[in-house]
Amino acid sequence: MMEKILLKYGEIALKGANKSSFEATLAKHIRIRMKKYGDFEVTRAQSTVTVTPKNEDCDIDGAYDACKKIFGIVGVSRAVTCEKNIDSIIETLKACAPDMLAGCKTFKIEAKRADKRFPLTSPQICDECGGAVLETVKGIKVDVRHPDEIIRVEIRDDEAFIHPDQEKGAGGMPVGTNGRALLLLSGGIDSPVAGHMICKRGVKIEALHFESYPYTSERALEKVAKLAELVSEYNGYTTLHVINVKEIQEVLRDKCDEDYFTLLLRRFMMRLAQRCAEEFKCSALVTGESIGQVASQTMDALCVTDSVVSMPVFRPCIGLDKEEIVEISRKINTYETSVLPYEDCCTVFTPRHPRTRPEMAKVIAQEERIDVEGLLERAYETMYTYRREE
């Protein structure tokens, strides 16, 4: 029996005249992801993508798991195929039903007749296949309302597919169909979640991290690189850029009031991020802030921070509480890395009593004490693209 992977997409099916471009982008992403697991053929028809191994060396287990992390896919199934006639379908079903229903007490057959030329109706297919299962799997019963397992029989143009109920895919839109953005990636829990959420809406991201070496360590940078790698499992490859803000922090410490330190640093970060975004053709910034979570994330503070940039700032986590953000981070496998106890630049020179309701005039007055443009220029000159040593 030939085994294939069936991928169902959701929102793309609702697109109009440009639907084919979304489908083509999705198919391209699938082909790229599958290269790691062998030689697969990727075809699409009737709101379904079929991933077919071309030889026995293909790692279909790895390919199946990877398909569940591709944005644009809402359902993933491993299906066996057979000739498109009822005798072949029943023979194949008898062979695979014991494994599909292992540990189950009840089941249900659902049939989809995409090829309307097939001589049996969907109810007739269900009757024939249900009878075959009852003959083959001892002690099993039919339950059409709350079955332990659903076996689906799909009649398509060239062949029939038999598979258990599909697993949930990543959902969303194919990455790259809604532009590019720059993610400000710290070593914390929130920003990887924000990156994941914006990618789910079809946005391709690059990442920017601010380090403060030697106040921050190489291990801290490696932690952030690992987070970028984990986000890449859904986003595709995520390039990580790094800027050193040590000099900026030291000048702020020496020349500005302590309670403005965090706010002023974030204004520098936003200016540097916009310049980086413009260089790498990104149209927006993405941050992991959740309103009111910490002192620098009050509404007043965010307004003061955003005033130094002209491009949109997306904050996917803005209305989530910490528990909700942690739940997502666990789901996408970034939590354990995020909580590793390595410092990041925002923990260096942290003020004891940061401003939560800053006034713009007073913030500007603080910046007039320092050479903002000179500090920005020298910091931007430190930017490099991180490459993990093999």
pLDDT in tens, 137-159: 999 999 999 999 999 999 988 89
Give the Å distances, CA to CA, from 255 to 32, 251, 367, 370. 51, 6, 9, 7
Per-residue pLDDT tens for 78-104? 999 999 999 999 999 999 999 999 999
Q: How far is the CA of 223 from the CAs of 218, 219, 220, 230, in angstroms?
A: 9, 6, 5, 11
**Tokens matching residue 13:** 């099916």
Q: What is the pLDDT of residue 355?
A: 75
| pLDDT (mean) for 313-339 | 96
**Domains, the chain, with CATH or none:** 2-168 (3.30.2130.30), 180-385 (3.40.50.620)
Can you give the pLDDT at residue 180?
Answer: 97
What does the pLDDT read at residue 297? 84
Query: Helices 190-200 & 218-235, crossing angle to 10 degrees?
Result: 20
Residue 293 has pLDDT above 90, yes or no: no
Average per-residue pLDDT for the chain: 92
345 pLDDT band, cuts 50/70/90, is low
Give tens-digit pLDDT for 237-290: 899 999 999 999 999 999 999 889 989 999 999 999 999 999 999 999 999 999
Residue 47 has pLDDT above 50, yes or no: yes
The pLDDT tens digits for 191-235 are 999 999 999 999 999 999 999 988 888 899 999 999 999 999 998
The band of 63, judged by pLDDT with boundaries at 50, 70 and 90, is: very high
- One-letter amino acid at 298 equals T
pTM more than 0.85: yes
Residue 390's pLDDT is what? 41
Q: Report the pLDDT averaged over residues 292-316.
A: 91
Residue 348: its pLDDT value, please?
Answer: 65
Structure confidence at residue 389 (pLDDT): 52
Among left, alpha and beta (phi > 0; psi -120 to 50; other), residue 77 is beta
What's the pLDDT at 286? 98
pLDDT given for residue 347 in this prediction: 64
SS3 for 26? helix
Distance CA 339, CA 330 (A): 11
Peptide bond into 214 cis (omega under 30): yes
